[in-house]
Each structure stands twice: as structure tokens, then as C-alpha cells.
Chains A and B, each alone.
Chain A
Amino acid sequence: MSKTEFPPSITSRPVYGELEVRPGKHHLMIADAEGAEAILGLASSAPADLWAQTHIIYIPKSTGETYTGDLRALNPAQMYVGPSYEAAKQRIEDTFAKAHMGLQVYLTGTEGLMGQAMAAAIAAGIPHTAIQTEHRGSTARRMQCVHCKGITEDVTTDPFVCSHCGLNLFVRDHYSRRLAAFQGVCIDAEDPGNVPPQVEVFK
């Protein structure tokens, strides 16, 4: 499996690149699920001392133990495996807050993970130029309901039901980097009850 190719979209939608090892004093790698493959992929080109300066924050989600052994085998200076972004959030923000000049940030995995970690990094003053991204794994979306403002994680269907207010929402491509979320809008506002069947559009 390699990086995800997305179809062309509107100008608010983020685009992602391909991770490469860049010179730096410290390296912070934040990944979820198949994002582990992008980190493991760096190993072939990594200088010998890279992992001794690397902190890996990894959220396996449904991949369970699939990648954790291989990641540990890289021998990173620090490695954390957590159950969800929400659980890891404070640790991630703390790491950015304590970061020094020369930190390189590598984000990989789902859009929800990269978007939230990106927002946290920018808020902490990490320069854009020190942050790389690579999409791997599920294209499920993190959605904000424009009506109740609640976030629904890992949305795979269009339409979907807001996990907070229960409205049937359609999935837009309009994306807010501040919220790290796409926008969901009521699909049956003009004809209440007329909700098309859910289609799994994001695998």
C-alpha cells in the first residue's frame, strides 16, 4: 500500500505530500493506522542516528498490533501508542509546546489525524515549512455539523447522521483547517424526510 491519490477538488481541501527524511535536531512522527507504513518506509533512507532523535506517537485504531512491533523495532528515542487522538491530544500539544528550533514534524495516516495535529502544531507556532504530511489508509472524514457544531469522526457514508444532533447531513468538500474538519449540511432541509440512501463513499 502507498500514499493515497485523491481526485482534484476545491481550493479549501488540503493536499498531502510524501514523507521524506529532512535534516533536523529532533523528529516528531505522529501517525494513525496505516500511517505506520509511511514511517516504516522512511527507514530505508534514514541516516543511522535518525531514530535516536525521534519521538513516535502512534494511534493504531483498527490495525491493532499489526505495526506496533515493527515501529518499536526502529528503536525510537520515545514511542507512545494510544487508543485515540482524543486520548493523545494533551500529549501531542505538550510535545509541540516544548518543541525547540530544529524540530521536524511528520504527520501520516487519516485526514482527521493529520488535520488535528497540523492545527495543534500551527497553534504552537511550528513553522509550516517544518511540517510534512502523507495520507495513508482510510479516506473516512472528520465532519463538522454546521447546525449543532458537533464533530463526527471517521464518516464513511454520504449522507450520514450527525452523532450529536441526529440530523441527516450531506458531506461537502469545503474544509476548515482551524477545525480540521469538512462541513456537513442538512440534506432534507427543503423536503423534510426525503433522505437518499447512505452510500459508502469513503473506504
Chain B
Amino acid sequence: MTIQFNDETFRDDFTFRNSPEAIKRFPFPFHEDSYMYSVNLEPHVALKRPGSPFEFAFDVDEHYVSEMADRAKVLADDPLRCQSLPHMTLAGWDLVEYIMEAKARDYPDLFELHKDGDRWRWINKPLGIDDTFTFLDESTLPYGPMEYITRQTQGDFALLDQRDDNLWMDAGMVTTQADWSLDFDIGMNFFEWHAPVPKAHEMGIFVRALKFLLNLQQGAPVRRLNWTMTVNPLLDTSPENYHKWGEMKSKLTMDNIGEKQHLRVELQTLFRLPRSNAICFPIRCYLCSFNDLVSVPKWGRRLHRVIRDLPEELAEYKGFIANRPLMIEWLSQYDDGAPTSDGIFPDE
């Protein structure tokens, strides 16, 4: 398989586009016509669906090279988007190994890993990288291990230390986040960093999810989809820069919403790491414009119903309550009331 990598931007002139193939494989997050929080965890990679973002441990798609360029810019402006507390270095090495092995296995034409004892040679063809280093020796890499590998991997990453029957967000690379701050949240436990989420605490979701995660086993990764809304294909919707991008949210009209409004989907996976016993939590962001979404009739119908019926607290928390009436008006044009099929995938 060869991937044609786009040359595109996620800021300023926003030249980001999804190809027809990318639209078809977009991880649409709604398996039915309504949405509410749940403990929506399922095995990752167990059911291989060729071509889908769920096929491999780490999905590499047409946006890879441009997303990595965007990450480099975010980090140059704000190095605090990547932090690792001192005890997390080993987990960073675990992650280096996990990602390199997975990518070399799943995309042999793009990535190669050659091991000679502790001497490793890593070839990343799309980014033009060919590095030789000593595994577990930080002085042989240009960055810390987590930063090194996550500058080459799409999606944000949180590394969770497990102790005292809780998970602690003690390291992360966070440049494509849906409005939360790693610098503020680093060092927090599962309940603390989830504190701002409405309803889910009362529903017992976080207690059950944490219990499940504390028992997560090596070799049995799980995943869930989360979603929100973003105006313009802006990857860096950080609170740090909210005073710069917030104004874009008030610029939607019936004429431009199809092009500007994007459904932002996070494919979140959870892997147990072998040496550190930490959990790695990639949060991979996929963007799709409303125009592109309604090109799949099932998605257009369903999105209208989900947005229309979403509980107020969720629309408020996800930050689109002000634009919701406009979204519903626009989306209603694509909902003829016909029934929709179960599941997230387009009808054949």
C-alpha cells in the first residue's frame, strides 16, 4: 500500500482537505441516532477492518506529514505541550519500542526498524529520518524518548503511571487537544483530570472505566471514540491559544458552515506498556467538514438527529451550544426522516 501524503495546513489559510478515500474511512462516532456518555470501551485491532483507522495499532494516513509539521510549530511556540515527570522516562522508552515495532510491522514500505542488540536503526521514510541509537540510552536521541517518537506519530499522547489504585497523567505530548491543558493537568489522577466533564461522574462512568483500565493487560489494547466540534480544521484547539482561535467560532453562517464546521473525532486507544507497567493513551484526532460528512447520506441524517437531541450540558461542555441552532438548521436539509442502519460505517 502506498499513501499519497497531503501538503496542507491546519492553521492560517487552512488548506487541509480529506480525499474521497479519507472521507470513506472517517471514524464516524455515532452507531445510532442519539448520543450519551457510556463506558464505550472495546478491543482494539481484534476485528481487523482493512482500510479503516481501526486496522492497525497506529493508523498512518494522508495527513501524517503535514500533521507532524504542525506539531513541530506548536512545540516551537510552546515547549510545555510536551512534558514528562522524571519517573516516566522508562515509559517513554516503552513507547518508542511499541510504536517502532508496530509501524515497521504494519507499514513495512514506510518504516523500518533494525535491531542489533541495543543498537537500533530506525528509518522513517515519509519524514526522511534515518537514526541509529542505543535503546535505553537517552544521550543517543535528539529528544527525550517520548518526545522523539511522538514527534513522528499522529495523535496526542498521555502516559499514565499506575499507583495507589489510580492512574496518574505524568507525561504527555499534547498539541491537538480538544481544549484541555497538559501543563495544568500533568500530575493529576483519573478523577482529577476528568473533573470538568458533566454528568459522567454522577453516572458512575469514571469509576467503572478506571476499574477496567487498572486491569488492562499487555497485548490486549482497547479503544473508544470521543468527539467534539471545531470551526475550521484547526488541530491546536488548546486552552493556551483559546484567546486567539475562540473568535473563529463566532464567524459561522448558513453559507459557510458546510465548509468551516468540522466534526472532530478522537480515536482513543489504551495500551499496557511492558517495562514500566504504565498505560499509553493515544488520542488521535480526525477532522471532517460538514460538507464531506453529508456526502454519506447515512451520516448526514444521523448527525442531524444526534446534534438536535444532544443534552444541553454536553453541547455546552463541548463548546458549540451557541452554534447549535445553525448546525441543526443546516443539517436538517440532509435528513429526510428515513431510517438509518446500525453501526458507524457507511452503507455499502
Of B184, B244, B322, the residue contacting A183 (CB under 8 A) is B184
Of A149, A177, A183, A191, the residue contacting B187 (CB under 8 A) is A177
Contacts of B243 in A (CB 8 A): 147, 167, 186, 189
Most B-side CB within 10 Å, residue of A13, A172, A174, A191? A174
Binary interface encoding of chain B residues 180-209 relative to chain A, with 1 for a CB under 8 A from any of its CBs, else 0: 010111111001111110000100000000
Report the bound CA distance from A176 to B242 in whole Å. Answer: 19
Q: Do B196 and A174 have beta carbons less than 8 Å apart?
A: yes
Interface residues on B, range: 20 to 34
Of B186, B195, B242, B245, the residue contacting A178 (CB under 8 A) is B186
Q: Do A12 and B193 have beta carbons less than 8 Å apart?
A: yes
Contacts of A191 in B (CB 8 A): 247, 250
Contacts of B247 in A (CB 8 A): 189-192
Binary interface encoding of chain A residues 3-23 relative to chain B, with 1 for a CB under 8 A from any of its CBs, else 0: 000000011110000000000
Q: Do A146 and B194 have beta carbons less than 8 Å apart?
A: no
Q: Confirm or deny: B144 has a beta carbon within 8 angstroms of a beta carbon on chain A.
A: no
Q: Which of B44-70 contact A (CB under 8 A)?
A: none
Query: In the complex, what residue of chain B is closest to A190 when comparing beta carbons?
Result: B246
Report the bound CA distance from A13 to B185 in whole Å. Answer: 13
Q: A10-B196, A11-B194 are in contact. Are A174 and B184 (CB under 8 A)?
A: yes
Q: Do A176 and B191 have beta carbons less than 8 Å apart?
A: no
Binary interface encoding of chain A residues 162-177 relative to chain B, with 1 for a CB under 8 A from any of its CBs, else 0: 0000010000111111
Q: Do A186 and B188 have beta carbons less than 8 Å apart?
A: no
Tell me the dominant secondary structure on chain B's binding face.
helix
Q: Which of B145-193 contact A (CB under 8 A)?
A: 181, 183-188, 191-193
Q: Do B184 and A185 have beta carbons less than 8 Å apart?
A: no
Report the bound CA distance from A179 to B183 in whole Å. Answer: 9
Of A149, A167, A185, A190, the residue contacting B183 (CB under 8 A) is A149
Q: A12-B193, A12-B195 are in contact. Are A147 and B240 (CB under 8 A)?
A: yes
Q: A11-B201, A12-B188 are in contact. Are A146 and B193 (CB under 8 A)?
A: no
Q: Confirm or deny: A133 has a beta carbon within 8 angstroms of a beta carbon on chain B.
A: no
Q: Do A186 and B184 have beta carbons less than 8 Å apart?
A: no
Contacts of B194 in A (CB 8 A): 11
Q: Which of A151-203 contact B (CB under 8 A)?
A: 167, 172-179, 183, 185-186, 189-192
Of B239, B244, B250, the residue contacting A146 (CB under 8 A) is B239
Q: Do A189 and B242 have beta carbons less than 8 Å apart?
A: yes
Contacts of B242 in A (CB 8 A): 146-147, 185-186, 189
Contacts of B193 in A (CB 8 A): 12
Q: Do B246 and A186 have beta carbons less than 8 Å apart?
A: yes
Q: Do B249 and A190 have beta carbons less than 8 Å apart?
A: yes
Q: Confirm or deny: B80 has a beta carbon within 8 angstroms of a beta carbon on chain A.
A: yes
Report the bound CA distance from A10 to B196 in whole Å. Answer: 7
Q: Confirm or deny: A144 has a beta carbon within 8 angstroms of a beta carbon on chain B.
A: yes
Contacts of B188 in A (CB 8 A): 12, 176-178
Least CB distance, B309 to chain A, in whole angstroms: 25
Report the bound CA distance from A177 to B184 in whole Å. Answer: 9
Q: Do B195 and A13 have beta carbons less than 8 Å apart?
A: yes
Of B185, B239, B244, B250, the residue contacting A176 (CB under 8 A) is B185
Contacts of B246 in A (CB 8 A): 186, 189-190
Report the bound CA distance from A160 to B183 in whole Å. Answer: 21
Report the bound CA distance from A165 to B218 in whole Å. Answer: 46
Report the bound CA distance from A174 to B191 in whole Å. Answer: 12
Report the bound CA distance from A57 to B187 in whole Å. Answer: 27
Q: Do B187 and A190 have beta carbons less than 8 Å apart?
A: no
Least CB distance, B177 to chain A, in whole angstroms: 12
Contacts of B186 in A (CB 8 A): 178
Least CB distance, A146 to chain B, in whole angstroms: 5
Binary interface encoding of chain B residues 81-92 relative to chain A, with 1 for a CB under 8 A from any of its CBs, else 0: 000000000000
Report the bound CA distance from A120 to B240 in whole Å. Answer: 26
Least CB distance, A173 to chain B, in whole angstroms: 8
Q: A147-B240, A186-B243, A190-B246 are in contact. Are A10 and B195 (CB under 8 A)?
A: yes
Report the bound CA distance from A192 to B247 in whole Å. Answer: 7
The 9 A-B pairs at the shortest CB distance, nearest first, are namely A189-B246, A12-B195, A10-B195, A186-B243, A12-B192, A178-B187, A11-B195, A190-B246, A11-B191
- With A178-B186, A190-B249 known, 9 other A-B pairs at CB within 8 A are A10-B195, A12-B195, A146-B184, A146-B240, A149-B183, A177-B188, A186-B242, A186-B246, A189-B244
Could you show 24 A-B contacts with beta carbons less than 8 Å apart?
A: A12-B188, A147-B239, A147-B242, A147-B243, A149-B183, A172-B196, A174-B195, A174-B196, A175-B192, A176-B184, A176-B185, A176-B187, A176-B188, A177-B187, A178-B186, A178-B187, A183-B181, A185-B242, A186-B242, A186-B246, A189-B244, A189-B247, A190-B322, A191-B250
Point out residues on B near A: beta carbons under 8 Å. 80, 181, 183-188, 191-196, 201, 239-247, 249-250, 322
